[in-house]
């Protein structure tokens, strides 16, 4: 039997934080690709500490529902799940640990799908810039690296006149980017895993956004939903696990 | 990275074993079993019916047939507040859930009380690994690293404030460390608690901040800034005629129930020193 374990951050305060993980798990469950699809969290139950005892399958694929490689994916998740590396044997179980979602090649496509959802039926004239919004932190350069990396991938496709990045907690600061980017249309997509305090409150407030579309004197700002809850992320999670399977199961033959 | 020690390997598939054992435990009691706040009754059809224990015999309950609906049932209290800890005694009423078989029963139970069935089983089999507070604290990092410095008395008070049946129905099995048992009333419920949970660690962090404050910042009558903040908030709230409590895990706010329970243990003795018996 084969199981997929999706690891989310979860929250003690925000009931919506874990919702994308549950929704993606249900989508993957419906595909029948796995005998079991189980969710676990850092801040919610079931915890990472106990989830493996709840899995009946011997082949276990663990995919972190996190955007970037960093503190959680490299330190907290392996520690709490008791993982020794990409492959861990525990009793009869073989646990394969995949990388985060933001660094996966399909991520750029999900961002563009999110952008298409936002811009469907909206008319624009003049130059259009896509701005990817990341949390960022001065403590870990991988946090911003994944945003730059995806911006680069999208830039190569030439769909938008400009593709820029902006952050909440590091330079370049998002407010500055949105104001100064040389375009009449600014599409702002938060590269976040879930809706929450930042996407609903701090970002609209700090940028003076009035909803999905905000008219300023010299530009129109289109504010999209975060990438994480997009239904296509479920396929990305599956693909991440499948990649591990191809690399370590079939590749090993 | 090194592999974490795995102490227990005797039960090969605990998930499958626990499912069968739990179903058999319920089947053995046609009148139903209580587990947390839930009543589980075997149906003559072979399935199971779950409802809030206080809704036994109630009519007009909202009926669910998908075991995954259990997670939605467990998400909010009757007042619509988010429940970060599913073993808190605030499961909402007014629902009944039909589980078709043992697999659905455990899926539903994992929605209501995540990982409780497997812990229940391992505890009965004498195979549940217990992680004491110090062991748990030792692996914390980032903003939680400071819980390593929480004093033994701090752990005792935090556990009394955060884990007793009034706020969590799990039976607390862990101790401060191998030498120092918890003094709290551990509870008599069916759900074992083998390790401090993330809500407890978050609370322990808050208590550690109170401890640090105690050393440096006491005023002339021995009150700390946060104690005065809490007292002020209480007076102001009570003066309006309605004390609106902070959310369950909002430990930074004065009017949090667990925070107030901690104050009852540590502040009340300061305000009302015990009168010496003649």
Report how far residue A190's alpha carbon sits from residue B59's, in angstroms, rounded to the nearest whole number. Answer: 47
Do residue B93 and residue B202 come from a single domain? no
Do residue A216 and residue A239 come from a single domain? no
Do residue A219 and residue A125 come from a single domain? yes
Q: Do B15 and A56 touch (CB under 8 A)?
A: yes
Q: In which domain, by residue range, is B221 found?
A: 133-271
Q: In which domain, by residue range, is A90 found?
A: 2-101+230-250
Residue in A45, A76, A88 nearest the CB of B115: A45
Chain A residues whose beta carbon lies within 8 Å of the beta carbon of residue B88: none
Which of B88, B198, B201 should one mutate to test binding to chain A, selecting the residue with the greatest count of A CBs within 10 A?
B198
Residue in B4, B15, B85 nearest the CB of A55: B15
Chain B residues whose beta carbon lies within 8 Å of the beta carbon of residue A79: 4, 139, 141
Residue in B71, B115, B247 nearest the CB of A50: B115
Do residue B72 and residue B145 come from a single domain? no
**Chain B neighbours among A 84-123 (CB < 8 Å)?**
84-85, 88, 90-92
Do residue A91 and residue A112 come from a single domain? no
Q: What's the full length of chain A, in residues?
A: 253
Do residue B207 and residue B256 come from a single domain? yes
Res A137: pLDDT:
79
Do residue B173 and residue B264 come from a single domain? yes
Do residue A132 and residue A189 come from a single domain? yes
Tokens for B150, please give them. Answer: 């929480």
- Mean pLDDT (chain A) is 94
Could you tell me which chain A residue has the CA closest to the CA of B116? A46
Residue in A53, A71, A91 nearest the CB of B115: A53
Chain A residues whose beta carbon lies within 8 Å of the beta carbon of residue B202: 12
Do residue B137 and residue B120 come from a single domain? no
Do residue A120 and residue A211 come from a single domain? yes
Do residue B49 and residue B165 come from a single domain? no
Q: Do B86 and A45 touch (CB under 8 A)?
A: yes
Res B5: pLDDT:
44
Nearest to A166 by CA among A155, A156, A177: A177
Which of B79, B110, B114 should one mutate to test binding to chain A, selecting the residue with the greatest count of A CBs within 10 A?
B114
Whether chain B has a CB inside 8 Å of the CB on A55: the answer is yes
Could you tell me which chain B residue has the CA closest to the CA of A89? B3
Could you tell me which chain A residue has the CA closest to the CA of B141? A76
Report how far residue B186's alpha carbon sits from residue B173's, in angstroms, rounded to the nearest whole number. Answer: 7
Tokens for B128, please give them. Answer: 């549940």
The answer to whether B63 and B48 are in contact (CB under 8 A) is: no
DSSP letter (8 states) at residue B237? H
Do residue B119 and residue B164 come from a single domain? no
Instruction: Kindly report the nearest CA distance between residue B110 and chain A, in angstroms.
Output: 8
Our CA dihedral for A201, A207, A211, A212, rounded to 10 degrees, sits at -120
Three-state DSSP class for B102?
helix
Residue B278 in domain: no
Angle between the N-to-C axes of helices B102-112 and B116-124, in degrees from 0 to 180, rounded to the nearest 10: 110
Do residue A183 and residue A241 come from a single domain? no
The mean pLDDT values, 10 residues at a time, for chain B of 278 residues are 46 92 98 98 95 97 98 97 98 98 98 98 97 98 96 98 98 98 95 98 97 82 94 97 95 98 96 74
Q: Is residue B126 packed enough to be buried (19+ CB in 10 Å), middle (13-18) or exposed (0-12)?
A: exposed
Encode pLDDT of A152-208 as tens digits.
999 999 999 999 999 998 999 999 999 999 999 999 999 999 988 889 999 999 999
Report how far residue B176's alpha carbon sits from residue B186's, in angstroms, rounded to the nearest whole number. Answer: 13
Could you tell me which chain A residue has the CA closest to the CA of B3? A84
Residue B182 in domain: yes
What CATH number did the domain enclosing A79 receive? 3.40.50.1400
Non-local CB neighbours of B84 within 8 Å, separated by 6+ positions? A11, A12, A13, A43, A44, B199, B248, B249
Q: Do A12 and B84 touch (CB under 8 A)?
A: yes
Provide the number of structural domains found in chain A: 2
Residue B9 in domain: no
Residue B67 in domain: yes
Domain stop point among B100, B124, B148: B124
The answer to whether B102 and B19 are in contact (CB under 8 A) is: yes
Domain stop point among B90, B124, B158: B124
Chain B residues whose beta carbon lies within 8 Å of the beta carbon of residue A82: 3-4, 6
Domain stop point among B97, B124, B151: B124
Chain B residues whose beta carbon lies within 8 Å of the beta carbon of residue A90: 6
Non-local CB neighbours of A171 within 8 Å, separated by 6+ positions? none
Whether chain B has a CB inside 8 Å of the CB on A59: the answer is no
Do residue B157 and residue B264 come from a single domain? yes
Residue in B71, B131, B198 nearest the CB of A42: B198
Provide the number of structural domains found in chain B: 2
Three-state DSSP class for B39?
strand
Chain B residues whose beta carbon lies within 8 Å of the beta carbon of residue A91: 6, 9, 12
Which of B2, B9, B13 should one mutate to test binding to chain A, selecting the residue with the greatest count of A CBs within 10 A?
B13
- Please report the DSSP string for chain A in residue order: -EEEEEEE---SS-TTTTHHHHHHHHHHHHHT--SEEEEEESSSSSBHHHHGGG---SEEEEEE--SSSSIIIIIIHHHHHT--SSEEEETTEEEEE---STTSTTHHHHHHHHHHHHHTT----S-EEEEEEE---TT-HHHHHHHHHHHHHHHHHT-SSEEEEEESSSSSBHHHHHHHSS-SEEEEEE--SS-SHIIIIIHHHHHT--SSEEE-SS-EEEEPPPSTTSTHHHHHHHHHHHHHHIIIIITT-
Res B9: pLDDT:
47
Q: Quickly state the pLDDT bin for A127 (edges 50, 70, 90).
A: very high
Do residue A75 and residue A154 come from a single domain? no
Residue B3 in domain: no
Do residue A53 and residue A27 come from a single domain? yes
Q: Do A78 and B82 touch (CB under 8 A)?
A: no
Do residue B68 and residue B30 come from a single domain? yes
What CATH number did the domain enclosing B19 receive? 3.30.1360.190
Whether chain B has a CB inside 8 Å of the CB on A46: the answer is yes
Whether chain B has a CB inside 8 Å of the CB on A248: the answer is no
Q: Do A91 and B75 touch (CB under 8 A)?
A: no
Do residue A115 and residue A170 come from a single domain? yes
Do residue B120 and residue B161 come from a single domain? no
Do residue B172 and residue B69 come from a single domain? no
Encode pLDDT of A17-60 as tens digits.
999 999 999 999 999 999 999 999 999 999 999 999 999 999 99
Do residue A46 and residue A126 come from a single domain? no
Chain A residues whose beta carbon lies within 8 Å of the beta carbon of residue B118: 50, 53-54
Do residue B255 and residue B226 come from a single domain? yes
Non-local CB neighbours of B82 within 8 Å, separated by 6+ positions? A13, A14, A15, B75, B76, B247, B248
Chain B residues whose beta carbon lies within 8 Å of the beta carbon of residue A92: 12-13
């Amino acid at each position: 039997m084969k199981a997929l374990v999706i690891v989310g951050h979860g929250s003690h305060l925000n009931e919506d934080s874990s919702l994308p993980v549950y929704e993606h798990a249900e989508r993957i469950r419906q595909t029948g690709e796995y005998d079991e699809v189980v969710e676990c969290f850092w801040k919610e139950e079931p915890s990472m500490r106990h989830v493996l005892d709840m899995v009946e399958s011997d082949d276990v694929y663990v995919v972190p529902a996190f955007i970037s490689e960093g503190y959680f994916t490299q330190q907290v998740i392996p520690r709490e799940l008791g993982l020794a590396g990409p492959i861990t044997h525990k009793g009869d179980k073989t646990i394969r640990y995949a990388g985060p979602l933001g660094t996966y090649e399909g991520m750029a496509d999900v961002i563009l799908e999110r952008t298409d959802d936002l811009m469907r039926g909206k008319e624009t004239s003049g130059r259009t810039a896509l701005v990817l919004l990341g949390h960022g932190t001065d403590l870990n350069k991988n946090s911003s690296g994944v945003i730059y990396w995806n911006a680069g991938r999208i830039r190569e496709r030439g769909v938008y006149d400009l593709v820029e990045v902006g952050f909440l907690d590091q330079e370049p600061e998002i407010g500055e980017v949105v104001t100064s980017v040389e375009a009449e249309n600014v599409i702002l997509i938060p590269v976040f895993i879930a809706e929450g305090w930042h996407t609903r409150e701090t970002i609209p407030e700090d940028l003076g956004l009035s909803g999905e579309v905000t008219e300023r004197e010299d530009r129109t700002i289109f504010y999209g939903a975060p990438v994480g809850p997009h239904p296509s992320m479920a396929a990305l999670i599956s693909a991440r696990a499948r990649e591990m399977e191809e690399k370590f199961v079939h590749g090993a033959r | 990275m090194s592999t974490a020690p795995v102490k227990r390997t005797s039960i090969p598939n605990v998930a499958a074993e626990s499912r069968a054992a739990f179903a058999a435990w319920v089947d053995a009691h046609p009148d139903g079993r209580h587990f947390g706040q839930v009543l589980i009754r075997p149906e003559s059809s072979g399935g199971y019916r779950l409802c809030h224990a206080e809704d036994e015999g109630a009519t007009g309950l909202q009926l669910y047939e998908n075991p995954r609906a259990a997670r939605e049932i467990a998400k909010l209290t009757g007042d619509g507040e988010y429940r970060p800890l599913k073993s808190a005694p605030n499961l909402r009423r007014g629902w009944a859930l039909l589980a078709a078989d043992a697999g659905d029963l455990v899926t539903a139970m994992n929605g209501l009380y995540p990982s409780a069935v497997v812990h229940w089983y391992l505890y009965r089999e004498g195979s549940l690994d217990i992680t004491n507070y110090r062991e748990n604290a030792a692996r914390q990092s980032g903003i939680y690293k400071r819980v390593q410095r929480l004093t033994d008395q701090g752990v005792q008070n935090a556990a009394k404030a955060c884990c007793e049946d009034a706020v969590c129905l799990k039976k607390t099995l862990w101790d401060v460390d191998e030498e120092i048992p918890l003094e709290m009333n551990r509870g008599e419920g069916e759900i074992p608690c083998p390790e401090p949970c993330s809500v407890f660690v978050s609370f322990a962090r808050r208590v550690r901040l109170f401890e640090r404050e105690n050393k440096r910042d006491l005023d002339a009558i021995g009150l700390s800034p946060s104690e005065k903040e809490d007292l002020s908030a209480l007076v102001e709230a009570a003066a309006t005629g309605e004390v609106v409590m902070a959310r369950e895990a909002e430990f930074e706010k004065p009017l949090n129930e667990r925070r107030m329970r901690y104050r009852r243990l540590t502040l009340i003795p300061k305000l009302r020193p015990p009168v010496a018996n003649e």
